[in-house]
Amino acid sequence: MEFDPSVIAWFKAAWPGPLVRTSGWLFPFGEVIHFIGLCLLFGSLIFIDLRLMGWFKELSVKAVLALVPYAMIGLTMNMLSGWLFFTSAPDTYLENPAFIVKMILVLLATANAVFFTLYEQRKVAMIGPGESAPRMAQILAGSSLGLWLLILLIGRWLPIFTVGTN
């Protein structure tokens, strides 16, 4: 995929890119934040999505949905640390097909979450212990879990597709 050099130059100059390129510890620090964010995001979503899909029926859906703030915190940590990585070498990321696929999947997973919040969350919030979620909520939960697993796996594949590595 071809990108306008001026766009790449803008990303390269954007904060905190220049700082990351000259610092020995900012990139590993970002990696730690990225993984902590991932644990918060994945840990809460696995709870919520599996309950909606019919597991852990001894818990009410409302009780499990109380974990949503952790997913939001985790996603924010991942977006901030992801921006730190990206601005450190935007050209390397943009020419990596795995990165493009990962970003498309992140957008899909976010859209999936927004759709669930707008159209399904109110319906499922009253589901008590032992009850099942509606079909649509189950499908959205399954696709959320599948998408995030794929995002995690593709994130680890980035070095394979980075030009000049592997």
Partner 1 sequence: MLWNFFREFEQGDFSSWVREGNFIAEPFSTYYTLLGLHSIGMAAIVGVTWMLGSRIFGFQTGISLRNVGGLFRLAWWGFWLNLFSGMVLLAAQPRREMMTGMFWLKIAAIVLAVWVIRVLQKGLSEIRTVPDPRGGGVIEVVPQSIRLQAFVIVVLWLVAIVAGRLIGYTQPPPPM
Closest CB to partner 1 among 66 and 111?
A: 66
Task: Figure out which of the listed residues 13, 14, 54, 62 binds partner 1, where binding follows CB under 8 A.
Answer: 62
When asked if residue 128 is in the footprint of partner 1 (CB under 8 A), the reply is no
CA distance 161 to 130: 46
Question: At which residue do the structure tokens 């696929």 appear?
Answer: 101
Is residue 22 at the binding interface for partner 1, with CB under 8 A as the rule?
no
Contacts with 38 (C-beta within 8 Å, 6 or more apart), sequence order: 74, 78, 152
166 makes contact with partner 1 (CB under 8 A): yes
The Cα 156–Cα 150 span in angstroms is 10
Binding status of residue 31 toward partner 1 by CB under 8 A? yes
Which of 55, 107, 114, 134: binder of partner 1 (CB under 8 A)?
55
Q: Does 46 bind partner 1 (CB under 8 A)?
A: yes
Our finding on whether 41 is near partner 1 (CB under 8 A) is yes
26 is a site residue for partner 1 (CB under 8 A): no
Give the footprint of partner 1 on this chain (CB under 8 A): 28, 31-32, 35-36, 38-44, 46-47, 50, 55-56, 58-60, 62-64, 66-67, 70, 129, 149, 152-157, 159-161, 166
